[in-house]
Amino acid sequence: MSPVAGYLSNEKHLFEYLGLEIYLSTRNQQPLVIYGRSEDQLSTVVINFEDGVYKGIELQHVPDFQELSPKDKEKLLEIIDYNLPDIIKFWIDVFVYNKKVPFEKVLKPIQTTQSSQTR
């Protein structure tokens, strides 16, 4: 098992998108953290809220691991933007309701529009 696979072994695998694997962090309930993995590269996205209101996302480096390539970072942000309501629901399902969340393999590129980029 690769070091990245070992690091993510207890996380919830949400999506596979054009070779990029996306996981929901179960390490801490807050903040909402998403991992993006491509082979032995790993980056995180922190989804920020203030007083229950979405405030934006931050792309962060995971210490001791090589960061995702710029292209994979773009794909990670793209799928998070496109699926943000579902990701928030999955987070609630895991931490509030102790439910299992589905895995989805996305086979086609996301077609972004001006409105989806400004959500």
The pLDDT assigned to 106 comes to 80
The secondary structure element, H or E, covering residue 47 is strand 41-50
Spans of all domains in the chain = 3-98
Which pLDDT band holds residue 113 (cuts at 50, 70, 90)?
Answer: low
Q: Is 13 exposed, middle or buried (0-12, 13-18, 19+ CB in 10 A)?
A: middle
Which 8-state DSSP code applies to residue 39?
A: T
Q: pLDDT tens digit string along 54-107?
A: 999 999 999 999 999 999 999 999 999 999 999 999 999 988 999 988 888 887
The pLDDT assigned to 115 comes to 44
The pLDDT assigned to 74 comes to 93
CA distance 94 to 74: 26
Q: Which of 10-14, 84-88, 93-97, 112-116 has the lowest mean pLDDT?
A: 112-116
Mean pLDDT of 38-45: 94
Reported pTM? 0.84
